[in-house]
Structures are given as structure tokens and as C-alpha cells.
Structure 1
Amino acid sequence: MSVDLPTRARSSAALVIAGVLWGTGGLAGSLLGQRAGLHPLAVAAYRLLVGGGFATLFVLLNGGALPRTAQAAKRLLAVGALFALFQASYFAAVSLSSVSIATMTTIGAAPVMVTLAGTRRPSRWTLGSLAGTLAGLVLLRWTPDEPAHLLAGLGLALLAAAGFATLTLITAKPVLEPLSTTAFGCLVGGILLTPVASWAGLALPLRVDVLALVCYLGAVPTALAYAAYLRGLATAHPVLGALSAVLEPLTAAVLSALLFGERLSVQAWCGAAVLVAALAVGYWRPEPA
């Protein structure tokens, strides 16, 4: 399918917006966990439930309807299950390894899995962008001191990557509008994840700062970001969509340095530069959709 330049530009902009907004979600989720005393799985459940609730309300207020066809119901169940799998596996990987290792493995492995699942041989530009992305992630996120249970954490991070890659592949052929898919898919995922997260406690302190963080986490880096991502995937190649996810750790690293005074090493800044260059290659010479 041939895609004209304005359509490609819009899809690329939507994918960039999604990646950047996901980066703010990591910081918001971390702050929510600290201030509310929530387990990461509980944070993930609130993220999906609140994000799905906001998006569903927006869809219904704008004349949208609940899905009524069997095809739509199957798609939403699959999307919801993948949302739950991705969130639960990722946060479990964080608890068994570290944020840097879990993020690097998940975000780095996802575009590789999407590429391997493709029916066509990727171009040299895509392979170059993929190699640069992996190298940039290693430089940006790798730290030498890692806790025990690293292999189990890596396995769960790869499971999270498989969930994200599968989500990217199946939503590349839309059945519903991107916002409807996001809205109802997040709700389904949150409902599926809630029993798993409930053992750690879902009690939420009714404080202004905590409620503001919950609302932001649900509305911006979840509902808005996933809607933008799914809209971009409608006309972009799935490999480019998976590569765009690396903007999440890049944005989080830069925001941590700017807002919280965390100093990035020369190695990390080199990794950020390599990531930007690799993504630029991916957007400049994308695979045909």
C-alpha cells in the first residue's frame, strides 16, 4: 500500500507524540507509587482503568457507541489481554531486575520481534535503524550493578516485549477507530489486571497530589498516547511503530535530568544521540506500509 507524504508525516508525528508521552508516564507512575505507597502492579491497573475510563467517556460523549460486532469484541479482548500482559510482565521484570534492564530489554526487543515476524525482508535502512536503536538503548540505560534474579527479570521483559510487539502487529490493521480501541481495550486490560494487582493492595489515599497523578497517568500517557500510537500505526509500518517506543526511555531520561537533577553520564548522552539518529533514519526511509 502506497502512502503519500502528508499521510506519512501525520502518522510519524502521531508516533513521536505517543513515544514522548509514554516517557512522561514512567515518571508519573513512579511518583504515584511513591506517594500512594502502591505496588507497581497496582499502578499499572490504575493506569489502564483510569485511562480507559477517560477515553470511553470521551468516545461516548462524542456520539460513539459500544462495540456490537463479534469481530470488534474479539479485537478488544485481544487488545485488553495484551495491555494487561505487557504492563504486568514489564513491572514484574522491573521488580526482579531493574528499571534500566527491564526497559532496555522490553523496548529494544520489541522492534526486533516485529521485524522477525514480518513477511518481507527488511531494507538495509530499517536494519541500520534497528541496530542504532539497540546500541543507543544500551548506552542510555545500561548500568553495571544489577540485583539478583536478573535472568528471571530478563525473561519477563522479553515476555513484555512479545506482548507489545503482538499488540503492534494486530492493531496495524484496525477494526475500530484508534480512540475506541484504546478506550475499550484499556478498560478490558485494567479489569483483567485488577485481580493480579489486588494481592498487593489497591487502596488509594484521597489526597490532591495522588488524585492528580492518577488522572494525569490515565489521561495523558495512557489514553492520549495509545490513541496517537494506534492512529499512527494505521498508515505506518509496524516496525516503525515499534521503533517509536524507544522515545519513552529517551524522554524519561532527559526529563529526569532536567526536572530532578539526575546527572546523565557522557555514555548516556551518546546513547541519546545515537537513538535520535537511528529514529531519524527510520522516519526518513521507512518501510512501505
Structure 2
Amino acid sequence: MQSSSALPVRQGVLYVAIAATAWGTGGGVAAELYGVGGIGPISVSFWRFLTGLGLLLAAHLVRRSRRPKTAVSLRGTFARNKRRALVAGFGLAVYQTAYFASVQQAGLTLATVVTLGSGPVLVTVGGRLLLNERAGAGGTAAVTSGVAGLVLLVGGADGSTGPAPLLGIGYALLSAVGYAGVTLLGRASGRRNTGGAFEATVTGFAVGTVCLLPMALLEGLMPDMERTARTLGLIVYLGAVPTALAYTLFFTGLGVVRATTASVVALVEPLAAAVIGMLVFHERLNAAVFVGGGLLLFAVLFLAAGERTVAGRPGGR
């Protein structure tokens, strides 16, 4: 993976979009694992983190063997950016676990709308206050369009609610705060170029795995291995695609893409899930879903074009 400082803005936006698409495949796989493996959402998150961490460490060893003189030390990366690794790892564990808890208590629709809908708003405000990144009138309109598209997209696909909606909303807001914190931290580190995105992803997931282990032990750690091949296949996929690959691309893209833009581009996640549901599971989608998807795509393309404009200005980054 090339350094973020040399990454073209268009490629950075593409990385974030690919990451969000990969995240969109994770929900269905995790739901399948609940049934096949007989474990809860915290344990699924733990195995996802642990598998992703193992794959990232294997990739790191390959990189070191091929380029021993230029390879970055994980120990050195953690020592130089200890606070970043601890906050990122804790934030990753919190926002993913809180989201799963929100789905259980509030249902998929409400959890997704509150978590992903409030995420870009929190990131926009945080980017302005903490990073001095201006969204502008166009950016604010794009965020509004993206959130409105999300509401239509998810609401049109599934209108069910869970047993405790208010508690679920609380979990969803906690998840959104964690997501916003991780995004802003990744963007701030990318702008300062404080260590490689890949190495930061590895150390962050190492911390997140440790944070999840105690809760996973309380919930019930070991999956049912009656269908061993399927269970292991689902775990490996979760660790490889929506975790190791997606977060490496996401944090790399944050090196050149503004936090607000990245948070809106990440709304591609439920759009990808809707497309997969239609093509793979033959789900019927209504007009609201298509209108919502159109609004999301408009917001993503508008902000992506704006990123290239900002990058082309003197001192734009």
C-alpha cells in the first residue's frame, strides 16, 4: 500500500468507497454466523477482529520479508503513536459492539438510520471544531442529501423495530460517537502523516481485540463447530474483507480525503447491502429505496468532485 501522502485524492475517495462496500457485505455474513455458529454479536466481533488481526500480521511479515530495509516496525509505530492506537482500538471495539447491540434492541432499520445517519453530522461538526475543515454550504447540502437518502434507503427496505427502541437508539448514538472519533482520529493522523496507515490499522485492531475479549468471554466465546467448514469460512471472510482489507483502505484514504467527505462516502455501505440483498437474496425493493440510493450517490459524487477541487488549490490540504 502506498503512503497516503503520495495518494491521489480520487484514489483516496475510491479506497473509502471500496471499504464501505466491503462493510456492506459484512452484515449479512455476520447474521448468518449468528445462526450457524450459535454465538452473539460481541463474540462475532471478537472473532472478526482476531481473524483480521491475524491476516494483517501475516501481511506485515510478508512486507518485511520483501522489503526489510523499508518496512516499518509495529512496535515502533505503537511506541510513537501509543495514544492513537489505544483510542482507535477502543473506538473500533465500542462502535461496532454498540451497533450490534442497537440492532438487537431497536431493529436493523432504526439502528442503521441512527448510527450511520448521525455519523456524518458528528464528523462534520468535529471536523470543523477539531481539524478546521470547512464543509461549506455545498458540503452541508451533500451531508443532508446523504442522510435523507440513508433514511429512505433503509426505511424502504425494512420497517421492523426491536424490543427496546429507546435503549437501541442510545446504543446507536454511542456507536456513532465511536465511529466519528475513529474517523476524525484517522483523518488527523493522516494529515500529520504520523506513521503508515497499514501499521496503524494493525495496532488499532490489536487493541480492539484485547478490549473485546472479556465481553466475548462473558457472552460465550466459542462458536458451534457442527458445521465447521461453513463457520470457519464465515469467520475468515469477516476478518479478511470487511475488516483487514476495508479498514486498511479506509484509514489510507483518510490521509487525503476530508473527514466529512469520507463519512458520507461511507454511506455506500447500506447501499451495497441493499444491492446484495436484491441480487443475491432476491429481495424486492420499492421506490423509496431507489430514490434514497440516488440521493446517496449524488452526495458521494458531489463531495468527491469537491475533494479534487480543494486538493487543486494552493494550500488546499
TM-score (norm 2): 0.86
Shift of the alpha carbon at 1:5? Answer: 11
Pick aligned residue for 2:144 from 128, 131, 141: 131
1:166-177 → structure 2 map (5 Å cutoff): 166-172=181-187, 173-174=189-190, 175-177=194-196
**d(CA) in 2 for partners of 1:4 and 1:39?**
40
Query: What is the rounded CA distance, in whole Å, between the counterparts of 1:268 and 1:219 in structure 2?
Result: 29
Gaps of 5+ in 1: none
Partner of 2:313: none
CA distance in 1, matches of 2:179, 2:7: 27
Change (3 A) 1:4 1:281: farther
Residue correspondence of structure 1 range 231-250 to structure 2 within 5 A: 231-250=252-271
- Give the C-alpha shift of residue 151 in structure 1: 1.3
| C-alpha spacing 1:151/1:234, structure 2 compared with 1 (3 Å) | same
Superposed displacement of residue 264, structure 1? 1.2
Q: Offset at 1:147?
A: 3.0
Partners of 1:202 and 1:187 in 2: how far apart? 18
**1:4 CA displacement:** 11
Is 2:43 the partner of 1:34? no
- CA shift for structure 1 position 125: 1.5
What whole-Å deviation, never above 9, does each CA across 1:251-287 have from its counterpart, x for those lacking one?
0111011101111111112111111111111111236
Offset from partner CA, 1:30-52 (integer Å, 9 cap, x none): 11112111111111111111111
Of 120-129 and 186-195, more deviation after overlay is shown by 120-129
Counterpart in the other structure of 1:229: 250
Distance in 1 of aligned mates of 2:34 and 2:47:
11
Question: Equivalent residue for 1:146?
Answer: 161
Matches within 5 A, 1:197-276: 197-206=216-225, 207-276=228-297
Give the conservation status (yes or no) of the 8 Å contact 1:133–1:246: yes
- Could you give the per-residue CA deviations for residues 210-254 of structure 1, whole angstroms, max 9, x where no partner exists? 111111110111000000000000011011111122111110111
Structure-1 separation of matches of 2:98 and 2:20: 19
1:66 maps onto 2:74 in alignment: yes
Larger displacement relative to structure 2 (170-179 or 84-93): 170-179
| 1:144 positional shift | 4.4
Change in CA separation of 1:62 and 1:144 when aligned onto 2, cut-off 3 Å: closer
CA distance in 2, matches of 1:52, 1:31: 22
Q: Tell me the equivalent position of 1:55.
A: 56
Q: Aligned-pair distance for 1:180?
A: 1.3
How many correspondences in the alignment? 287
Is the 2:111–2:168 Cα contact (8 Å) retained in structure 1? yes
Unaligned runs of 5+ in 2: 65-70, 311-315
Q: Deviations over 1:136-187 (max 9, x none)?
A: 0110112544233211111110110110111011111243211111122112
Structure 2 letter corresponding to 1:276 = L
Q: CA RMSD in A?
A: 1.9
Contact 1:53 1:183 in 2 (8 A): no
Residues 29/145 of structure 1: CA separation in 2 closer, same or farther (3 Å cut)? closer
Corresponding residue for 2:214?
195
**How high is the sequence identity, in percent, across the aligned residues?**
32
